[in-house]
Amino acid sequence: MREFFEVKTEFKKHLNETILPVRSTKYSAGYDIFSKENIILYPDDVHLFWTDVKVRLYNDEVFLIFIRSSMAVKYGLQLVNNVGVADSDYYNNPTTDGNLGICIKNCSKEPYEIKCGDRIAQGIAFKYLSIYNSSTDHNSYERDGGFGSTNLNR
């Protein structure tokens, strides 16, 4: 079962020059995600980084995205939504085609430079459980967009 999981859950590139997420050490849980651009984030600036990476998951998996701890602790950067959530049906949605977007805010008083190829976040794939007696009103709904699309047409 382990080999099948690793083959099925996978990263895909949108563009050839994209760096796919990687684990930095043998036992890292998180996959480092890289910037595709050079930018200076000034204090209170917010920027959405498109990674040109998408992740294919089983239906009972989710890819959670976190800021790298060194960027948060040392430099005061944070994800605008605190934790990014890429559901399994985000993969081929018609709006973004599953392209992972990472929105970072500089909460410090100093500018912070991010260069193309810098590690800006980390993602971890998790299996999750469904609650037996939860509402099933929207179980037949299929995603038709990217950010914010799961609350449309309700």
Q: Which CATH superfamily is domain 29-129 in?
A: Deoxyuridine triphosphatase (dUTPase) (2.70.40.10)
- CB–CB of 147/93 below 8 Å? no
Map residue 147 onto helix, strand or coil. coil
Residue 111's contacts (CB-CB under 8 Å, 6 or more residues apart) are 40, 41, 42, 43
Question: End-to-end distance of the chain based on CA atoms, in angstroms?
Answer: 37
For residue range 26-82, what is the model confidence (pLDDT) as tens digits?
A: 999 999 999 999 999 999 999 999 999 999 999 899 999 999 999 999 999 999 999
Model confidence, pTM: 0.81
What is the C-alpha R_g of the chain?
16
For residue range 3-16, what is the model confidence (pLDDT) as tens digits?
A: 333 335 677 766 66
